[in-house]
Amino acid sequence: MVLVGIDVGGTQIKAGLVTRDGRLISHIIENTKTKLGYKAVLEQMNEIILALAKENLVDVKDISAVGIGVPGTTSPDGVVYFANNLGWENKALVNDFGKLCQLPVFIENDASMAAMGELMVGSLKGVKNGILITLGTGLGSGILLDGKIFSGSHGIGRQAGHMKVGENFYECTCGANGCLETFASATALVKYYKHIKNKQQATKDIQVNTAEITAKEIMKLARLGDAIAEKSVERLIHYLGIGIANLINILDPEIISLGGGLAKAGDQLMIPLRESVYNQLYDKKRFFTRLSIAKLENDAGMIGSAMFACENNNK
């Protein structure tokens, strides 16, 4: 018996066959047929399951359950409330996809699924209370409490990226101002860098094309001593420190793990981040929460979704 874990994003679907102990056997990545609508994406996911089974000589009947991580809010009874990147609202995904694939289906938010993956076989292994923060286009967060995914009473919690932590020069995609992800994400870093670059002259010896610059390049420029890049990275770390300290002041977890592209910067991020968090803690003498880097990278969503399905299917 194996499981299928699907990480369905607005751009890509990642689907994998996963063993009960969280090993990714095989996976398929395809561009999501987002524009063709909800039904087309469901059919695409079903075809991927069949292809995975065929490629790996697995009978579809031997797949115990399917877990799907959705980039949005989901209800405890299997409805996708809202997933803006997919254009889905109030979709009965568990019911609809269950009918199509004829397998037990379980859904949750994608960041929660990634946290579940890290809990089972990654940086949060053995942890009761932990948080995974993903620094990508936005700032995603998955919260584990008492060894289980926590998303609140109605499935719409753990949106740490939309915690307001100050006033910003641009609005969040959610319509509000001051969301953490507008200060601390790859998008936020690029926007702030360009914002300052437009105002000031860069140091003369480093020439960059700001129109195309990425967060990774800004991190590199900061390492090379570019003043604006340094300032941009410092600002991101300052606000990320506030966001993490807020989470510690409220949830006091054992560990907060950082994933996503920006976390690859390693010590460049983690050493000043630790200091920034410390400065914002209520009880500085008791900085008990460990800060670490996530382990599973792009596989976390697939593995976590499969593990979530496994756990819930056995209930």
Binding site for a second copy (CB under 8 A): 73, 81-82, 128-129, 143, 145-146, 150-160, 162-167, 174-176, 178, 242, 245-254, 279-280, 282-286, 288-289
Residue linked to tokens 């940086």: 123
Beta-strand relationship, 290-293 and 88-91: unpaired
Q: How far is the CB of 144 from a second copy (least distance, A)?
A: 11
Give how far Cα 299 sits from Cα of 12, 29, 60, 126, Å.
13, 11, 22, 19
Residue linked to tokens 């994998």: 16
Residue 158 vs 191, nearer CB to a second copy: 158
Q: How far is the CB of 290 from a second copy (least distance, A)?
A: 10
Q: How far is the CB of 153 from a second copy (least distance, A)?
A: 5
Residue 154 vs 223, nearer CB to a second copy: 154
Residue 21 vs 167, nearer CB to a second copy: 167
Residue 213 one-letter amino acid: I
Beta-strand relationship, 105-109 and 63-70: parallel
Q: How far is the CB of 195 from a second copy (least distance, A)?
A: 19
Residue 65 vs 237, nearer CB to a second copy: 237
Residue 44 vs 141, nearer CB to a second copy: 141
Residue 32 vs 246, nearer CB to a second copy: 246
Contact 71, 139 (CB under 8 A): no
Residue 44 vs 182, nearer CB to a second copy: 182
Residue 165 vs 233, nearer CB to a second copy: 165
Residue 61 vs 282, nearer CB to a second copy: 282
HEC string for the chain = CEEEEEEECCCEEEEEEECCCCCEEEEEEEECCHHHCHHHHHHHHHHHHHHHHHHCCCCHHHEEEEEEEECCEECCCCCEEEECCCCEEEECHHHHHHHHHCCCEEEEEHHHHHHHHHHHHCCCCCCCCEEEEEECCCEEEEEEECCEEECCCCCCCCCHHHCECCCCCCCCCCCCCCEHHHCCCHHHHHHHHHHHHHHCCCCCCCCCCHHHCCHHHHHHHHHCCCHHHHHHHHHHHHHHHHHHHHHHHHHCCCEEEEECHHHHHCHHHHHHHHHHHHHHCCCHHHCCCEEEECCCHHHHHHHHHHHHHHHHHCC
Q: How far is the CB of 151 from a second copy (least distance, A)?
A: 7
Q: How far is the CB of 250 from a second copy (least distance, A)?
A: 6
Q: How far is the CB of 298 from a second copy (least distance, A)?
A: 25
Q: How far is the CB of 126 from a second copy (least distance, A)?
A: 13
Q: How far is the CB of 142 from a second copy (least distance, A)?
A: 12
Here the tokens at position 57 are 């000589």
